[in-house]
Amino acid sequence: MRRALILLSALLVTACGGTPAAAPSQSGGKTKVNAGVIAIVDTAPIHLGKAKGFFDEQNIDLTITPVQGGAASISGAVSGQFQFAFANTTSLLTAKQQGLDVKVVANGVSSTGEQGKDFSAVLVKQDSPIKAPKDLAGKKISVNQLKNIGDTTVRASVRNAGGDPTGIEFVELPFPDAPAALQSDRVDAIWVVEPFVSQALSQGARAVAWNFADAAPDLTVAMYFTTGKTDADLTKRFTAAIRKSLEYADTHSDEVREVLKTYTKIAPDVIAKIYLPKWPAEVNKASVQTIADLAVADGVLKDKVDVSALVQ
């Protein structure tokens, strides 16, 4: 997270004093758009929407460029590489607090809100003495990025269950490496999202908390965003296309599982079993405010964020 903050701070200087990004070019009457998107389960709707022609309907020639995470998508959008991008809620709140010119245009992905049937979980070994979320207090837990949505929501699980989260030791570990770290006792518990939840469960791990479901009802986990460099008409058209993509994905799970085979490296047998998230078109602003408030309380954010300035 420190690296991300340094990067975002540097971008703030560039955004305030740099040259404007070039306007999107036209291709056969369509506006060429480059979107920075992480190649994970969460972003299935934009891939499905492109395949179904929803962006063509809005005269958008869409290129989806894979990025490694929220910091990369935010930096790419601010620098003008991307007209639109996808990032998790905490990363966007951090960017907004630092003064970066980011503006949410649509929901990205949401928790199912169902205990035992969500795409994010905290897992332990089968024989672990940790039986409930409150037992995670004082334990060593892996997250993919420190001071981000993972540790904020894990703390919420512990706190809601009556435990004290202040003594948790979070360890930064990429999701693909987490199940092996759990089995080798390098950590007491791991926070992972799909497909790593299903992978770890199949290897004998046990879920003790469903942290996204615990943190807030129908939690908005990530969102699509743009910057002030993007003109209003293009923003309107992209928003219409991504909203249609989200609505379609949310009601066509079989097609979602098929499109996952085209841009991820998840094995087909795993794709058939994973818990899919929800993809409502609307951002749950109350849940974004909850994450912002929790992040301030936990020291992830320095000051209270005006969520309405990020999500119109």
The predicted-structure confidence for 119-136, as pLDDT tens digits, reads as follows 999 999 999 999 999 999
- Looking at the predicted structure, is the pLDDT value of residue 26 above 90? no
Cβ 95 vs Cβ 123: under 8 Å: no
Provide the pairing of β-strand 84-88 with 220-227. Answer: antiparallel
Percent of the chain with pLDDT over 70: 91
Radius of gyration of the chain (CA): 19
Give the integer Cα–Cα distance in Å for 65 and 37. Answer: 6
- Residue 128 makes CB contacts below 8 A (sequence gap 6+) with 188, 189, 206, 208
Residue 130 Cα distances to 190, 192, 295, angstroms: 12, 17, 25
Tokens 């390098």 sit at which residue?
A: 186
Confidence tier at 13 by pLDDT (50, 70, 90):
very low
Taking residues 48-69, what's their average pLDDT? 97
Burial category of 295 from C-beta neighbours within 10 Å (exposed 0-12, middle 13-18, buried 19 and up): buried
Q: Which of the two residues, 274 and 12, has the higher pLDDT score?
A: 274
Q: Which of the two residues, 3 and 87, has the higher pLDDT score?
A: 87
In this prediction, residue 15 carries a pLDDT of 36
List pLDDT tens digits, range 133-166.
999 999 999 999 999 999 999 999 999 999 999 9
List pLDDT tens digits, range 260-269.
999 999 999 9
Tokens 């490296």 sit at which residue?
A: 265
